[in-house]
Structure 1
Amino acid sequence: MPRQQKPWISLDQQLGLLTDRGMTIDEPEIARSYLEKLGYYRLSGYWYPFRKISAHFNPELDIPIRHDEFINGSHFRDIVDLYIFDKRLRLHALDALERIEMAVRVDIAHLLGEIDCYAHENPECLHGRFSKQAKKKGPAKGKTEHQVWLEKYERAIWRARREPFIEHYKKNYEGIPIWVAIEVWDFGMMSMLYSGMKVKHQDKIAEKYGAPSGHDFSKWLRSLNFIRNVSAHHSRLWNINVLERAPIPHYEHWQKINNSRPFFYFCLMQKLLAVISPNSAWNKRFEAIVESFPEPENNAIRISEFGIVDDWESWPVWGLK
């Protein structure tokens, strides 16, 4: 039977509830402002680690149950500091992922465009499982992955229909060549089409970025798209459990990393940026963000929850030492 929905409460009541549960509100007006701008529910993800831990476990998730009450020494300003840290992390991820998206889109267009200027629409230019094998279940049952991708592509073209470059090609040519079409792709579309390329074509692009194989690089892109979506939708990033997990390559030090935590994917971003933007200071800015991680007096949160490991700054991929 569904639970009864919790009632609406005012901002002042929200502050009162937090206080009653043991959180110290040092500056009530500032705290009220954050609740007003960001919302109680969004911020609750950031104060969750500050809640007291029960002796009982959630049988479904196999994690300790959290009480509503806060650990002694929990301050609202610590929640704000953690939110700001996470926001910086998200924006930093988006900075890298924008460059990665544009570079790999061009790689795909350059390689496939040489074969057929409409290769993205031509099943013969793609892998057979992607372009010819129909799905046997799910909402896209009976369609190939390529047909599903083409539906996304057509929607993207329709949304961009008033863009001068789309109007120009629609009016004057038989279709839109792949080197123009990439301008309407998002990261997910780019990742999906890459996964549908022939193995030899995947491998050629993967080799450029030092990935073990095209298959692995496809997994990297899929995972980075997950990180991109979390970041673009302003969701909490710093300690999430990454659902789209890429395989950990056998590079020096990398076997120490947990691929269910975000730090691994920042390592992947840095590896790709070393090829795309070798003179970038993205690595140094990342180091500065990590150093800004808040340290509350009750030690309710630790940077290790991000997945970071000791002495990561000395790893060759980061180029910091």
Structure 2
Amino acid sequence: MAYDRPWKSFQEQLALLTVRGMQVGDESAALEYLERVGYYRLSAYWYPFRVFETVGHDRHDRPITRATDQFVPGTQFVYAVRLYLFDKELRLRLTDALERIEIALRVDIAYLLGESDAFAHLHRATFHPSFARRKSGRDPRDSFEKWQERCEGMERRSKEDFVKHYRQKHGPRLPIWVAVETWDFGTLSQLFAMMKVPDQIRIAQKYGVQDWKVFQSWLRSLNYLRNVCAHHSRLWNRNVIDQPRLPKPGEIVWCDAFHDEQRLARPFLLLSIVRHMTLVVCPNTGWHRRLQAHLERFPVPHSRRRLSLEDMGAPPGWERWWTE
């Protein structure tokens, strides 16, 4: 298929939006945002204000809709900007907490595995045989081999002075408490998934999670969240691809509010997991209160298309347990 959409100047982009029904109160400010942020990035934030038409029904007789080019009456350019700024601050606040969680997990894993062997991460025997030997697709390498290659690559690319110093003084192999400082969240999450079940349980229980499979899924989902934040992608109402598991009802009380298919696919559950783990890492933190204050400043638009924290997957009454 040939691409048939021509290049448009910023003025033409703004004119196209007005033709489609968007109201622009301050044209110079709107042009500035188009120049600085970009039409395509902002389009993710005005997408909810487009008119949707029903094009069919699924097997459960639920309507299948498609977005048209038109905006619902009363849609203003500033609504998309406010959502964009809200989302930007949300990602920045989450990045702060995810850093604390990642650093704490590095210590947890290095301390646990390093107690038995300084180079535990280099030996297959350290890991669960089934998890470490798992293969996917046509790739002949198993999980352990792929993880080793990723780990070695990150160590090799590291420019940290402590890595250079250690190698000059002790040789090329890094003990786990040094190597772990060169890994990213994904590498850490993959290592955890290969660990023996008793080791996974010990770390999971530190964070108040009894089911190691649940905690393993939390780390995988937090890595997904971290990547969304790191790439400055839209977060507030996105469909979560890598969804976390939930513990059995009653095990972690706040989780009971998310035993719902739609809320599982929304980011508020991930925000709640970050809150839970941050309170374990930093019991006296005020981070969760600062995030709540930000969430309560959600920019509700005055248009026919109503948006709220429910679009993020926030359950009713979340404020009651958020600050406990």
Q: Using structure 1 for the length normalisation, give the TM-score.
A: 0.93
Query: What is the 5 A alignment of 1:234-245?
Result: 234-245=232-243
Runs of 4+ deviating beyond 6 Å: 58-62
Report if the CA contact (8 A) 1:121-1:150 is conserved.
yes
- Equivalent in the alignment of 1:15: 14
256-265 or 227-236, larger mean C-alpha shift:
256-265
**What number of residue pairs does the alignment pair up?**
313
Counterpart check, 1:269 vs 2:274: yes
Amino acid in the other structure paired with 1:68: D
Taking the aligned partners of 2:56 and 2:296, their CA distance within structure 1 comes to 33
Counterpart check, 1:158 vs 2:152: no
Query: What is the 5 A alignment of 1:212-223?
Result: 212-223=210-221
Q: Using structure 2 for the length normalisation, give the TM-score.
A: 0.92
Structure 2 unaligned residues grouped into runs of 5+: none
Taking the aligned partners of 1:207 and 1:59, their CA distance within structure 2 comes to 42
C-alpha deviation, 1:55, in angstroms = 2.6
Taking the aligned partners of 1:90 and 1:277, their CA distance within structure 2 comes to 19
Residues 281/134 of structure 1: CA separation in 2 closer, same or farther (3 Å cut): closer
- Equivalent in the alignment of 1:180: 178
Q: How big is the alpha-carbon RMSD for the aligned residues of Structure 1 and Structure 2?
A: 1.8
C-alpha deviation, 1:245, in angstroms = 0.9
Report if the CA contact (8 A) 2:73-2:304 is conserved.
no
Report if the CA contact (8 A) 1:130-1:144 is conserved.
no
Q: Deviations over 1:88-139 (max 9, x none)?
A: 11111111111100001100000000111111111111111233x252524x
Residues 253/184 of structure 1: CA separation in 2 closer, same or farther (3 Å cut): closer
Partner SS for 1:294: coil
Taking the aligned partners of 1:146 and 1:108, their CA distance within structure 2 comes to 16
Partner SS for 1:165: helix
- Equivalent in the alignment of 1:206: 204
Q: Deviations over 1:51-102 (max 9, x none)?
A: 0111324979974101101001100111100001111111111111111000
- Equivalent in the alignment of 1:109: 110
**Identical-pair percentage:** 42
Amino acid in the other structure paired with 2:183: W
C-alpha deviation, 1:3, in angstroms = 5.2
Q: 2:284 aligns with which of 246, 267, 279?
A: 279
Report if the CA contact (8 A) 1:53-1:67 is conserved.
yes
- Equivalent in the alignment of 2:308: 302
Residues 256/299 of structure 1: CA separation in 2 closer, same or farther (3 Å cut): farther
Partner SS for 2:70: strand
Report if the CA contact (8 A) 2:57-2:64 is conserved.
yes
Structure 1 unaligned residues grouped into runs of 5+: none
Partner SS for 1:115: coil
Taking the aligned partners of 1:307 and 1:212, their CA distance within structure 2 comes to 24
Taking the aligned partners of 1:21 and 1:58, their CA distance within structure 2 comes to 27
Report if the CA contact (8 A) 1:58-1:65 is conserved.
no
